[in-house]
Amino acid sequence: VRRGYPEAVYCEGKSPEQVRAIAERVGGRPDVTTIFTRADADRAQAVLAALPDAFHDPVARLLVWPPRMPEPTGELVVVACAGTSDLPVAREALLTARHLGRRAELVVDVGIAGVHRTLAKVDLLRSAGAIVVVAGMDGALPGLIAGLVSCAVVAIPTSVGYGAAFGGLAPLLTMLNACAPGVGVVNIDNGYGGGHLAAQIAAPR
Amino acid sequence: VRRGYPEAVYCEGKSPEQVRAIAERVGGRPDVTTIFTRADADRAQAVLAALPDAFHDPVARLLVWPPRMPEPTGELVVVACAGTSDLPVAREALLTARHLGRRAELVVDVGIAGVHRTLAKVDLLRSAGAIVVVAGMDGALPGLIAGLVSCAVVAIPTSVGYGAAFGGLAPLLTMLNACAPGVGVVNIDNGYGGGHLAAQIAAPR
Amino acid sequence: VRRGYPEAVYCEGKSPEQVRAIAERVGGRPDVTTIFTRADADRAQAVLAALPDAFHDPVARLLVWPPRMPEPTGELVVVACAGTSDLPVAREALLTARHLGRRAELVVDVGIAGVHRTLAKVDLLRSAGAIVVVAGMDGALPGLIAGLVSCAVVAIPTSVGYGAAFGGLAPLLTMLNACAPGVGVVNIDNGYGGGHLAAQIAAPR
Amino acid sequence: VRRGYPEAVYCEGKSPEQVRAIAERVGGRPDVTTIFTRADADRAQAVLAALPDAFHDPVARLLVWPPRMPEPTGELVVVACAGTSDLPVAREALLTARHLGRRAELVVDVGIAGVHRTLAKVDLLRSAGAIVVVAGMDGALPGLIAGLVSCAVVAIPTSVGYGAAFGGLAPLLTMLNACAPGVGVVNIDNGYGGGHLAAQIAAPR
Amino acid sequence: VRRGYPEAVYCEGKSPEQVRAIAERVGGRPDVTTIFTRADADRAQAVLAALPDAFHDPVARLLVWPPRMPEPTGELVVVACAGTSDLPVAREALLTARHLGRRAELVVDVGIAGVHRTLAKVDLLRSAGAIVVVAGMDGALPGLIAGLVSCAVVAIPTSVGYGAAFGGLAPLLTMLNACAPGVGVVNIDNGYGGGHLAAQIAAPR
Amino acid sequence: VRRGYPEAVYCEGKSPEQVRAIAERVGGRPDVTTIFTRADADRAQAVLAALPDAFHDPVARLLVWPPRMPEPTGELVVVACAGTSDLPVAREALLTARHLGRRAELVVDVGIAGVHRTLAKVDLLRSAGAIVVVAGMDGALPGLIAGLVSCAVVAIPTSVGYGAAFGGLAPLLTMLNACAPGVGVVNIDNGYGGGHLAAQIAAPR
Amino acid sequence: VRRGYPEAVYCEGKSPEQVRAIAERVGGRPDVTTIFTRADADRAQAVLAALPDAFHDPVARLLVWPPRMPEPTGELVVVACAGTSDLPVAREALLTARHLGRRAELVVDVGIAGVHRTLAKVDLLRSAGAIVVVAGMDGALPGLIAGLVSCAVVAIPTSVGYGAAFGGLAPLLTMLNACAPGVGVVNIDNGYGGGHLAAQIAAPR
Amino acid sequence: VRRGYPEAVYCEGKSPEQVRAIAERVGGRPDVTTIFTRADADRAQAVLAALPDAFHDPVARLLVWPPRMPEPTGELVVVACAGTSDLPVAREALLTARHLGRRAELVVDVGIAGVHRTLAKVDLLRSAGAIVVVAGMDGALPGLIAGLVSCAVVAIPTSVGYGAAFGGLAPLLTMLNACAPGVGVVNIDNGYGGGHLAAQIAAPR
Ligand SMILES: Nc1ncnc2c1ncn2[C@@H]1O[C@H](COP(=O)(O)O)[C@@H](O)[C@H]1O
Ligand SMILES: Nc1ncnc2c1ncn2[C@@H]1O[C@H](COP(=O)(O)O)[C@@H](O)[C@H]1O
Ligand SMILES: Nc1ncnc2c1ncn2[C@@H]1O[C@H](COP(=O)(O)O)[C@@H](O)[C@H]1O
Ligand SMILES: Nc1ncnc2c1ncn2[C@@H]1O[C@H](COP(=O)(O)O)[C@@H](O)[C@H]1O
Ligand SMILES: [Mg+2]
Ligand SMILES: [Mg+2]
Ligand SMILES: [Mg+2]
Ligand SMILES: [Mg+2]
Ligand SMILES: [Mg+2]
Ligand SMILES: [Mg+2]
Ligand SMILES: [Mg+2]
Ligand SMILES: [Mg+2]
DSSP symbol at E204: -
**Ligand with the closest atom to the CA of A128:** 5
| Spatial separation of the C-alpha atoms in residues E71 and E76, rounded to whole Å | 13
Q: Is the minimum distance from the CB of C91 to ligand 2 under 6 angstroms? A: no
Q: What integer pLDDT is reported at residue A1 of this predicted model?
A: 42
Write the single-letter amino acid at F70: P
Report the nearest-CA residue for atom 19 of ligand 2.
C9
pLDDT for A13 equals 87
Q: Chains B/C: 3 or more C-beta pairs closer than 8 A?
A: yes
User: Closest Cα partner for F135 from F147, F153, F116?
Assistant: F153
Interval B183-202: pLDDT, tens: 999 999 999 999 999 999 99
Instruction: Establish if H24 touches chain B: CB-CB under 8 angstroms.
Output: no
Q: How far is CA D103 from the centre of its chain?
A: 13
Residue from the list H115, H144, H164 with its beta carbon closest to the beta carbon of G173: H164
Question: How many CA atoms does the CB half-sphere of F94 hold within 13 Å?
Answer: 20
| Interface contact H5, partner B, CB < 8 A | no
Which of H143, H164, A45, A146 has the alpha carbon at shortest distance from G178?
H164
H113 and H141, same domain (yes or no): yes
Tally of CB atoms within 10 A around G21:
15
Q: What pLDDT shows up at residue H13?
A: 87
The protein residue whose alpha carbon is closest to atom 14 in ligand 1 is B9
Supply the pLDDT for residue D1.
42
B163 CB within 8 Å of a chain A CB: yes
Rounded average pLDDT over A40-65 = 98
Check F111 against E179: CB less than 8 A apart.
Answer: yes
For ligand 4, atom 7, the nearest C-alpha belongs to: F10
Q: Ligand nearest D113 Cα, by number? A: 1
Show residues of chain G in contact with H111, CB under 8 Å.
Answer: 179
Distance CA B139, CA D163 (A): 15
pLDDT of residue G1: 41
Cα-to-chain-centroid distance, residue B12: 16
F162 and D18 within 8 Å at the Cβ level: the answer is no
Choosing from F18, F44, F65, the residue where a domain stops is F65
Confidence of residue E114 (pLDDT cuts 50, 70, 90): confident
The mean of the pLDDT values for chain C is: 95
E146 & E83 share domain: yes
- Decide if B24 is inside a domain: yes
The 3-state DSSP class for residue C106 equals strand
Q: Hey, are the CB atoms on A14 and G164 less than 8 Å from each other? A: no
Residues G113 and G191 in one domain: yes
One domain, residues D103 and D154: yes
- Min Cα separation H134/chain B (Å): 14
Largest Cα–Cα distance in chain A? 51
- Would you call E165 helix, strand, or coil by DSSP? helix
Instruction: State CA D181 to chain mean position distance.
Output: 21
Residue H184 maps to which CATH number?
A: 3.40.50.1970
pLDDT at residue F2 greater than cutoff 90: no
Chain E residues touching residue C160 (CB < 8 angstroms):
13
For residue H71, being part of any structural domain is answered with no
- H4 interfaces chain A, CB cutoff of 8 Å: yes
Model pLDDT, residue H116: 92
Task: List CB contacts (< 8 A) between G147 and chain F.
Answer: 2
- 3-state helix vs strand vs coil in chain A, percent to 5: 40, 20, 40
D9 bridge partner residues? D36
**D91 and D37 share a domain?**
no
Tell whether G147 and G81 lie within a shared domain: yes
- Give the residue, by CA position, lying nearest to ligand 3 atom 6: E10
CA distance C125 to C119: 10
Q: Do chains A and B touch (3 or more CB pairs under 8 A)?
A: yes
What would the pLDDT profile of D97-118 be if each residue is shown by its tens digit? Answer: 999 999 999 999 898 888 999 9
Query: Which residue has the CA at smallest separation from atom 14 of ligand 4?
Result: F9
The helix/strand/coil state of D195 is helix
Q: What is the dihedral of CA B96, B100, B102, B103, to 10 degrees?
A: 50
Phi, psi dihedrals of residue D93, rounded to the nearest 5°: -65, -45
Q: List CB contacts (< 8 A) between D182 and chain E.
A: 196-197, 200
Q: How many domains does chain B have?
A: 2
Residues C71 and A37: their CA atoms lie apart, in Å, by: 52
Mean pLDDT of A110-138: 95
Q: What is the mean pLDDT of residues G29-51?
A: 97
G5–F150 C-beta distance less than 8 A: yes
Tens digit of each residue's pLDDT (9 = 90 or more) over F3-24: 569 999 999 989 999 999 999 9
Closest by Cα among B142, B134, B143, B145 to B187: B134
3-class secondary structure, H20 = helix
Task: Write out the residue range of the structural domain in which residue H52 sits.
Answer: 7-65
Note whether D31 and D82 are same-domain residues: no
Q: Which atom of ligand 4 is nearest to the CA of F192?
A: 1
pLDDT, tens digit, for every residue of G45-85? Answer: 999 999 999 999 999 999 999 999 999 999 999 999 998 89
| C-alpha–C-alpha distance, residues B154 and B186, integer Å | 7
Among D residues 135-154, those touching chain E with beta carbons less than 8 Å apart = 147-152, 154
Nearest to C198 by CA among C124, C105, C93, C119: C93
Confidence of residue G197 (pLDDT cuts 50, 70, 90): very high
H109-129, pLDDT tens digit by residue?
898 888 999 999 999 999 999
Complex prediction ipTM: 0.95
d(CA B13, CA H96): 41
**pLDDT tens, B126-152?**
999 999 999 999 999 999 999 999 999
Cβ distance C14 to A84 less than 8 Å, yes or no, reads: yes
Residue F71 resides in a domain = no
Shared domain for B184 and B92, answered yes or no, is yes
Amino acid at G68: R
Residue D167 near residue E155, CB atoms below 8 Å: no
Q: List chains touching F (3+ CB pairs under 8 A).
A: D, E, G, H
Question: Using the beta-carbon criterion (under 8 Å), do C166 and D173 form an inter-chain contact?
Answer: yes
Q: Is B49 a member of any domain?
A: yes
Instruction: Place D49 in a pLDDT band, splitting at 50, 70 and 90.
Output: very high
pLDDT digits (tens, 9 = 90+) for H136-156: 999 999 999 999 999 999 999
Q: At CA B90, angle to CA B84 and CA B95, rounded to 5?
A: 130
Same domain, C189 and C164: yes
Mean pLDDT of chain D: 95
The residue among B152, B107, B145, B130 whose CA lies nearest residue B199 is B130
Using the Cα atoms of residue D163, residue D169, residue D174 and residue D177 in order, give the sign of their dihedral: negative
E157 contacts chain C (CB < 8 A): yes
- With an 8 Å CB cutoff and a minimum of 3 pairs, decide whether chains C and G touch: no
**From the CB of B179, is ligand 2 less than 6 Å away?**
yes
Instruction: Tell me if H196 sits within 8 A of H130, measured CB to CB.
Output: no
A21 inside domain? yes
Q: Which of C5, C188, C192, C196 to mutate to test the interface with A (most CBs of A within 10 A)?
A: C188
Burial of D205 (0-12, 13-18, 19+ CB in 10 A): exposed
Give per-residue pLDDT as tens, B53-63: 999 999 999 99
- The H or E element that residue A201 is part of is helix A191-201
Q: Does F119 touch chain E (CB under 8 A)?
A: yes
- The arithmetic mean of pLDDT across residues F114-136, rounded, is 96
The domain boundary residue, chosen from D65, D92, D108: D65
Residue E203: HSE in the Cβ half-sphere, 13 Å Cα cutoff = 20
Residue F160 contacts D, CB cutoff 8 Å = yes
Task: Report the distance separating Cα F4 and Cα F73, nearest Å.
Answer: 12
CB contact under 8 A, D184 and E186: yes
Contact yes or no for C20/A84 (Cβ under 8 A):
no
Rg (CA), chain H: 17
- Nearest by CB to B172, from D85, D160, D164: name it: D164
What is the overall mean pLDDT for chain B? Answer: 95
Instruction: Give G183's strand partners.
Output: G153
Q: Tell me the average pLDDT of chain H.
A: 95
- Phi then psi for H76, rounded to 5 degrees? -70, 140
pLDDT at H205: 87
Indicate whether residue E34 lines ligand 3 (CB < 6 A). no
> Which backbone phi and psi does B95 adopt, to 5 degrees?
-70, -35
Q: Left (φ > 0), alpha (ψ -120 to 50) or beta: where does G203 sit?
A: beta
Number of helical (H) and strand (E) elements in chain A, helices listed first? 8, 9
F82 touches chain D (CB under 8 A): no
Q: If you compute the radius of gyration of chain A from its CA atoms, what whole number of angstroms results? A: 17
Question: Given G161, G175, G179, which is nearest H177 (Cβ)?
Answer: G161
Give the per-residue pLDDT at H1: 41
Ligand nearest to C-alpha B201 = 7
Indicate whether B145 belongs to any domain.
Answer: yes
Task: Give the number of other CB atoms < 10 A from CB of residue C1.
Answer: 11
Last residue of one domain, picked from the residues H43, H65, H87: H65
Identify the pLDDT of residue F73.
97
DSSP SS3 for B14: coil
Residues H83 and H174 in one domain: yes
What residue type is assigned to position C147 of the chain?
A: G
Q: Is the pLDDT of residue E1 over 50?
A: no
* Spatial contact of H96 and H69, defined as CB atoms under 8 Å apart: no
Q: Which residues in chain C have Cβ-Cβ distances shorter than 8 Å to B150?
A: 2-5, 200, 203
Q: Is D181 an 8 Å CB contact of chain E?
A: yes
Q: Which of A13, A168, A190 lies at the smallest CB-CB distance from G160?
A: A13
pLDDT score of C3: 53
Cβ proximity of E75 and E129 under 8 Å: yes
Same domain, F138 and F183: yes
Tell me how far CA of residue D173 lies from CA of C175, D125, G157, in angstroms: 12, 24, 28
pLDDT at C42: 98
Q: Tell me the DSSP string of C141-204.
A: HHHHHHTT-SSEEEEEE---S-GGGGGGHHHHHHHHT-SSS-EEE--TT-HHHHHHHHHHHT--
pLDDT reading at F1 higher than 60: no
Nearest CA in chain G to A189: G163
| DSSP-assigned letters across all residues of C116-129 | HHHHTTHHHHHT-S
Mean of the per-residue pLDDT values of chain A: 95
Closest residue CA from atom 8 of ligand 2: C10
Partner C contacted by A160 (CB < 8 A): yes
What pLDDT, on a 0 to 100 scale, did the predictor assign at position E3? 53
Q: Kindly state whether residues E35 and E96 are assigned to the same domain.
A: no
Which residues, given as ranges, of chain C have pLDDT below 50? 1
Give the neighbours of chain A: at least 3 Cβ pairs within 8 Å.
B, C, G, H
Q: Does residue G3 carry a pLDDT above 90?
A: no
Contacts of A159 in chain G (CB under 8 A): 163
Please report whether residue D105 resides in a domain: yes
Distance CA F98, CA F93 (A): 9
Domain contains D138: yes
Average pLDDT rounded to a whole number, residues G178-185: 96
Residue A2 predicted with pLDDT over 80: no
Residue E47 near residue E9 (C-beta atoms within 8 A): no
Instruction: Identify the residue among B40, B84, B169 best suited for mutation to test binding to H, counting H beta carbons within 10 A and taking the highest.
Output: B84
Is pLDDT of B1 > 50?
no
Q: What are the residues facing F157 on neighbouring strands?
A: F135
Nearest C-alpha of chain H: how many angstroms from F106? 23
Q: What is the mean pLDDT of residues D161-185?
A: 97
pLDDT, tens digit (0-9, with 9 covering 90-100), for C26-72: 999 999 999 999 999 999 999 999 999 999 999 999 999 999 999 99
CA proximity to A128, closest of A109, A153, A110: A153
Instruction: Please give the average per-residue pLDDT across D128-135, as a whole number.
Output: 98
DSSP letter, residue H161: S
CB nearest F164 (choices: D10, D22, D187): D187
Strands A34-37 and A62-65: antiparallel
pLDDT in tens, E25-65: 999 999 999 999 999 999 999 999 999 999 999 999 999 99
Burial class (CB in 10 A: 0-12, 13-18, 19+), B63: buried
Residues D184 and D155 sit within 8 Å (Cβ to Cβ): yes
Per-residue burial over A76-114, b = 16 or more CB atoms within 10 Å of its CB, e = otherwise: bbbbbbbbbbbbbbbbbbbbbbbbbbbbbebbbebbbbb
**pLDDT tens digit sequence for B55-111:** 999 999 999 999 999 999 999 999 999 988 999 999 999 999 999 999 999 999 898
Over 70: is that where the pLDDT of B3 sits?
Answer: no
Torsion sign over Cα E69, E199, E33, E15? positive
Q: Ligand 2 centroid to F68 CA: how many Å? A: 70
